């Protein structure tokens, strides 16, 4: 393989090098057809990535299958050591990977991209130590028989990732899958594939050929071929609710397990006794304003107690006004661009819908950037929507932009009911100084990841995953590795 050990001079060289390629069987494999990847900040073509069809997708699955037996036979701790060294190598190349990521996602290099690479390497380090936790049980079935369970890898795992946090979401899949003895085919996001390729190739350098493979293409051509492949034993998907449904149907047709990390519309409840300063900071990080709100976990429904409502709004707008929207590569930038024109229109349409609602108010914060070459249509100001009824589409649907709904509340029972009035159930936060209120609210909120007085992103060792239409299964933990990347075999031995 044309190894990553001969480093690329810069991000532009990476994008050129991965033109119309897949990474399959330890090789850079040319693909006949390509698709344009745009620079979200300018709208210009950034590079061309592979547009894999069924034939190229099948080749990747075959390579993963061929590598499977030897990888599964390797002692689990040895697999973990390979994953550990791969994670260290990723950390060594962090700046280059972050530079590529910023160019293709439009996320700001300082506030988002460097952190994403660091978390990705941390996830690898976390999972690398868990090989010895792939334990089964002995069962007291009959004292004259040995009855036990053992954990086995599943086989070829298809890992499908979106564009918003592509590296972290890829690592949450490949690190546990590999340590558990599976081989993997990653389907990169066609909107932002290059950093995924670079990070994966750095990892591949530490693995036998074919254990990890990366392909790119559109959902209907490449993703669908992958989920339909008879040798794919497990599908792990992160993306939208609509595509998640399609992927789950494909898994059902072949009766293979699927884990789904989908969208969200997560509530943030600020109680009368909350620390207002901390809550405002938490609202900005929780809504992921520096990621243009493009986060499944975004605290996009903020329920603020009547007594704090005016102060909260004033402090939040003042802080948001100070965030710099601009060129993702500029170190001064806090907020970059929306991923593409289509998504920018979705965001603008939701805001227009809110503006048209009787009694509603729209507060736009910050200033649109004016830099030369920047495409103004692709930037969006942090926007707060006030005075909307609970059944309004802006309150019910995931907007996936820097748009938060702010709702006052006075009755605790009512706010819990409003927070739970959602088809999603990914995350929730509660802000209070009262332990009893925190215990009560956390037990009643219908969400898979509930935090009190903080708004952290995904953390290794802390199980993460949603309820309802937010998906199925967990990521980021030992529980996730055992539940989603192994199967349990029961063995009963009788030598009587
Ligand atoms: P998307 O669903 O459009 O695409 C995700 C991936 O699925 C892409 O790689 C795409 O090519 C592929 N795909 C599309 N059609 C397919 C098909 N028929 N078969 C197989 N694969 C197919 O999502 P997106 O726009 O890239 O990402 C944004 C969405 O991801 C948001 O809804 C967000 O909430 C969600 N998300 C969820 C989490 C989580 O952990 N819950 C994290 C990040 C993003």
- Find, among 392, 434, 341, the residue nearest to 106 by Cα: 341
Structure tokens at 355: 């503006």
3-state SS, residue 126? helix
Under 8 Å between Cβ of 473 and 260: yes
- Find, among 344, 324, 341, the residue nearest to 333 by Cα: 324
| CA 244 to centroid of ligand 1, rounded, Å | 7
For residue 23, how far is the Cα from the chain centroid?
Answer: 21
Nearest residue by C-alpha to atom 32 in ligand 1: 240
Residue-range domains of the chain with CATH = 11-262+470-491 (3.40.605.10), 267-459 (3.40.309.10)
Distance from C-alpha of 484 to C-alpha of 176, rounded to nearest angstrom: 9
Under 8 Å between Cβ of 265 and 467: no
pLDDT tens, N- to C-terminus, the chain (496 residues): 445 645 799 999 999 999 999 999 999 999 999 999 999 999 999 999 999 999 999 999 999 999 999 999 999 999 999 999 999 999 999 999 999 999 999 999 999 999 999 999 999 999 999 999 999 999 999 999 999 999 999 999 999 999 999 999 999 999 999 999 999 999 999 999 999 999 999 999 999 999 999 999 999 999 999 999 999 999 999 999 999 999 999 999 999 999 999 999 999 999 999 999 999 999 999 999 999 999 999 999 999 999 999 999 999 999 999 999 999 999 999 999 999 999 999 999 999 999 999 999 999 999 999 877 888 889 999 999 999 999 999 999 999 999 999 999 999 999 999 999 999 999 999 999 999 999 999 999 999 999 999 999 999 999 999 999 999 999 999 999 999 999 999 999 999 8
For residue 474, how far is the Cα from the chain centroid?
Answer: 12
Distance from C-alpha of 209 to C-alpha of 192, rounded to nearest angstrom: 24
| CA 263 to centroid of ligand 1, rounded, Å | 9
Under 8 Å between Cβ of 355 and 386: no
- The neighbouring-strand residues paired with 258 are 235
3-state SS, residue 269? strand
Distance from C-alpha of 14 to C-alpha of 45, rounded to nearest angstrom: 15
Between the two ends of the chain, the Cα-to-Cα distance in Å is: 54
Distance from C-alpha of 50 to C-alpha of 40, rounded to nearest angstrom: 19
Q: Which residues line ligand 1 (CB under 6 A)?
A: 160-165, 169, 187, 189-190, 218-220, 223-224, 227, 238-240, 243, 246-247, 261-264, 296, 398, 400, 426, 466, 471
Catalytic residue among 261, 331, 398, 479: 261
Distance from C-alpha of 368 to C-alpha of 376, rounded to nearest angstrom: 7
3-state SS, residue 139? coil
261 is catalytic: yes
> Ligand 1: which atom is nearest the Cα of residue 165?
43
């Amino acid at each position: 393989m044309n190894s990553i050990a001969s480093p690329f001079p810069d991000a532009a060289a990476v994008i050129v090098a991965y033109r119309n390629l897949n990474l399959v069987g330890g090789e850079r494999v040319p693909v006949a057809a390509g698709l344009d990847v745009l620079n979200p900040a300018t709208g210009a073509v950034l590079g061309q990535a592979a547009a894999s069809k069924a034939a190229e997708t099948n080749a990747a699955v075959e390579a993963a299958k061929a590598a499977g037996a030897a990888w599964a036979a390797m002692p689990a701790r040895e697999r973990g050591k390979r994953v550990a060294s791969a994670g260290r190598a990723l950390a060594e190349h962090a700046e280059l990977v972050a530079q590529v990521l910023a160019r293709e996602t439009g996320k700001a290099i300082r506030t988002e991209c460097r952190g994403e690479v660091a978390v990705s390497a941390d996830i690898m380090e976390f999972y690398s130590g868990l090989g010895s936790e792939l334990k089964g049980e002995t069962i007291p079935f009959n004292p004259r028989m040995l009855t036990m369970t053992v954990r086995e890898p599943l086989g070829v795992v298809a890992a499908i990732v979106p564009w918003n946090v592509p590296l972290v979401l890829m690592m949450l899949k490949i690190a546990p899958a590999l340590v558990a003895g599976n081989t993997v085919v990653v389907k990169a996001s066609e909107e932002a594939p290059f950093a995924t390729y670079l990070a994966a190739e750095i990892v591949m350098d530490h693995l036998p050929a074919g254990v990890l493979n990366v392909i790119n293409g559109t959902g209907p051509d490449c993703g669908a071929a992958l989920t339909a492949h008879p040798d794919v034993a497990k599908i792990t998907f992160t993306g939208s609710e609509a595509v998640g449904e399609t992927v789950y149907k494909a898994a059902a047709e072949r009766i293979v397990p699927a884990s789904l990390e989908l969208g969200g519309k997560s509530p943030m409840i600020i109680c009368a006794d909350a620390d207002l300063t901390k809550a405002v900071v938490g609202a900005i990080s929780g809504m992921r304003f520096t990621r243009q709100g493009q986060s499944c976990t975004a605290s996009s429904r903020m329920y603020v107690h009547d007594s704090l409502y005016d102060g909260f709004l004033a402090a939040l707008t003042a802080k948001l006004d100070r965030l710099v929207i601009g060129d993702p590569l500029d170190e001064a930038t806090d907020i970059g661009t929306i991923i593409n024109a289509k998504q920018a229109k979705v965001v603008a349409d939701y805001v227009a819908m809110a503006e048209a609602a009787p009694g509603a108010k729209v507060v736009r914060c910050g200033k649109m950037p004016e830099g030369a070459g920047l495409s103004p249509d692709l930037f969006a100001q942090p926007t707060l929507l006030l005075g909307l009824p609970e059944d309004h589409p802006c309150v019910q649907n995931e907007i996936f932009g820097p748009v938060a709904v702010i709702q006052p509340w006075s009755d605790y029972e009512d706010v819990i009911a409003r927070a739970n009035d959602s088809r999603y159930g990914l995350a929730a936060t509660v802000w209070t100084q009262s332990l009893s209120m925190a215990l009560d609210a956390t037990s009643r909120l219908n969400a898979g990841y509930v935090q009190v007085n903080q708004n952290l992103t995904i953390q290794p060792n802390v199980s993460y995953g949603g309820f309802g239409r937010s998906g199925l299964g967990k990521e980021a933990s030992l529980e996730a590795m055992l539940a989603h990347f192994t199967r349990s075999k029961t063995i009963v031995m009788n030598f009587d």
